[in-house]
Structure 1
Amino acid sequence: MLPAMVVASTCLSLVALPGSARADDILDGNTQNSTTEQRAETGDDGTVGVTVGGVVFDRSKNGSGDSAGALASSTSWSPPPCWYAPKYTPEQLQEHLEPIWEAGSTGYEWDAKQRDKYNAGDEEKGFNKDKTGKGYWWASYVNKSYPPGWDSCDEDYFWVDTGDAPPANVENAVTPEVLAELAYAEIRVPGTEVTLAPAEATKVNLPTWAWLDGAEFKPVSVTASVEAIGVQATATAEPVSLSIEPGTEDAETHPASGVCEINNGRIGEAYAKGKANETPPCGVTYLRSSGDGSYPLQATVTWQIHWTGSGGAGGDLPDGTFGATQDVVVQEIQAVNR
């Protein structure tokens, strides 16, 4: 295990977009004092990706707009807070480690053990130079937001031959499934402010219709890839329901569960003239005025997540949710006495 100062050293970017680079050109020799690095890359097909911690994310099919946001898992599961990916060629690992040893910053005994481990004295085979072009040294990367567990990837550098799977005992080494989980964290879905009718202010005991723009609520996806090892995965989120919480107990939701299922790609139904007294398929009826204030209506969309990846891999990931709160003014119906 490396000391923290070595483990948390620099991260190199892997360009993983089609036609953007050859696999043997992916790792460059530059390092930076950060746990993750981001860099936009454009492939020959025009696809734009962002490199984060050795993985390229294609976000071109993501949700957009100022109100778009990340999904929250509906369970206790969360995407990996750190992971392992190819990081150095043999020559690059040598260029990275030897200055550290020369500085003596980790102590003579540690440096001696490291030199021995990497067979540093052998000019032909040290650092696996005899395997140049046949594999990479892998190392850890950390989610830049440092969620709980970000420091759990503390394995020393390890070698993986091209075409071989990473060691089974190394948790969160990039595989199609791990890439799908990382892609999950990069998914952004549209904002969930619902359209209401009446729009300005609703009335007590008058059904309020609620719906979302069906054109925006369609599947979104993110693809994560590491071209150096030919592995990729796409995580896709599809909207399945809208949950409405009126913001007060003095209200009735439609349907009674408060959960509006998506029907034929539509979330709720737009109000049409002449339906003021009908019960909406999705909405709420407030039973009490909000007075001089308003009620905080919470609208949350649930998204189902599935993924596909290299070699025909695929499966499901926990549902995700994304919601927003909006103020609703509820007024008493004014009676006119003659």
Structure 2
Amino acid sequence: MLASLFLLVFVAPSAQADITPGDGGSDGGSDAPPPGVDGGAEGQNLYAEAGGVVFDESENGGGGGSGGSGGGGALEPVGDWAPPPCWYAPLYTPRQLKKEMEHTWSLESTGYQWDAEQRAKYSQGGDKPGTYEDFNMAKSGDGYWWDGYVPDGGAGVPGALDCDDGPFWVDEGDPPPAQYENAVTPEILAGIAYDRIRVPDTEISLKPDAQRAQKVNLPTWAWLDAATFEPVSVTAEVPVLGLWARTTATPVSLTLDPGTDDAELHPSSGTCPINDDGSIGTPYTAGSAEETPPCGLTYLRATPDGETYPFRATITWSIAWEGSGGTGGDLPDGSFGTTIELEVDEIQSVVR
């Protein structure tokens, strides 16, 4: 419990503590991250936005989150995959760690015994195994203190306490000790970037449109213009390590859910693929009211007075990533949908 308390009290604020922007942290070349990633290290100043990771969201989508605006939101991964709940990364120079820990000790919030053990480990240990002298101030510029990081709002997520071993030192150019399985890698960065992807609302075109009642046994056409959905990307980087990953979400299909069993889907699977030009379905044209649309549905029963069917349109996005060191691969698809309440009426006939 003490270690967990220390992680929450001490680590979470540190990503923004005493930082100065550097020059990007990359020496360029074919393995360099895409342009736009800001961050790095300059002298004794470690630059880190969130857990040692900085982001380029210039190609992110809408959604009101980081890098986006307007409607839409985060993707829901298909299956049981979840973004990394925590990770280890370089967060401090010796001077920064000393300042943070001495401030924590001054608050006397973690208890005398805990504070004494930490002082013995980080400032008074000297040549004892697993201990340090004066926060490794003598090694300033030759490495960084790594620590566990839990994203904002992630303290209660399963696995969030897997990174609570406390700060540890890694010499520049050396890998972190093998026991730290959550140490940041390009693949972990790809998952972190996935979590920040934002996509636009699924605002599809319907005929009849959503403001009018649909008609029993007459097809409802559904389509999306080519410019509506395009690939979006987020790049995550740890500049001081030269590690990066760019995660890209590409729309692949539209799935329709009529909100009732009393409906036929077109196609029967309810999934409309994206056309070669990036559009989905075919726009309705005059005279097509009774034709079967390539993407749409037909309601077979009217809604009771005052009630509606919760029609849902969901875009599926395929997820791929590439990273430093020639790494890359695929992550589980993500989806984002919109629900529209549709009224369905019987066709009125005129009796003469």
Shorter chain as normaliser: what TM range? 0.7 to 0.9
Give distance in 2, aligned partners of 1:315 and 1:222. 15
Give distance in 1, aligned partners of 2:41 and 2:176. 21
SS of 1:163's equivalent in the other structure is coil
| Residue 186 of structure 1: how far off its partner (Å) | 0.3
Say if 2:308 is the partner of 1:305.
no
- Contact map agreement 2:37 2:237 (CA 8 A) in 1: no
Give distance in 1, aligned partners of 2:39 and 2:52. 15
Equivalent runs, 1:42-121 vs 2, <5 Å: 51-64=49-62, 65-101=69-105, 105-120=109-124
| Residue 217 of structure 1: how far off its partner (Å) | 0.9
Which amino acid is 2:282 matched to? E
Counterpart pick for 1:12 among 15, 24, 39: 15
Structure 1: state its 5+ residue gaps. 29-38, 40-50
Give distance in 1, aligned partners of 2:281 and 2:4. 52
Counterpart pick for 2:149 among 141, 146, 155: 141
Which amino acid is 1:144 matched to? D
Counterpart pick for 1:207 among 212, 216, 219: 219
Say if 2:346 is the partner of 1:332.
yes
Which amino acid is 1:274 matched to? G
SS of 2:301's equivalent in the other structure is coil
Give distance in 2, aligned partners of 1:270 and 1:74. 29
Structure 2: state its 5+ residue gaps. 25-35, 63-68, 127-131
Say if 2:43 is the partner of 1:24.
yes
SS of 1:297's equivalent in the other structure is strand
Give distance in 2, aligned partners of 1:103 and 1:70. 38
Aligned counterpart, 1:251: 263
Counterpart pick for 2:330 among 312, 316, 326: 316
Give distance in 2, aligned partners of 1:234 and 1:205. 47
In the superposition, the TM-score normalised over structure 1's length comes to 0.85
Aligned counterpart, 2:164: 154
CA offset digits 1:162-204 (Å, max 9, x no partner): 2223233213221111111001100011111321011122211
Give distance in 1, aligned partners of 2:256 and 2:106. 63
Which amino acid is 1:27 matched to? L
| Residue 327 of structure 1: how far off its partner (Å) | 1.4
Counterpart pick for 1:279 among 271, 292, 306: 292
Equivalent runs, 1:186-225 vs 2, <5 Å: 186-199=196-209, 200-225=212-237
RMSD: 2.4
| Residue 96 of structure 1: how far off its partner (Å) | 2.2
Q: 1:294 to 1:165 in 2, by over 3 A?
A: same
SS of 1:117's equivalent in the other structure is helix
- Contact map agreement 1:233 1:308 (CA 8 A) in 2: yes
Aligned-pair identity in percent equals 54
- Identify which range, 301-310 or 291-300, moves more after superposition: 291-300
Aligned counterpart, 2:140: 132
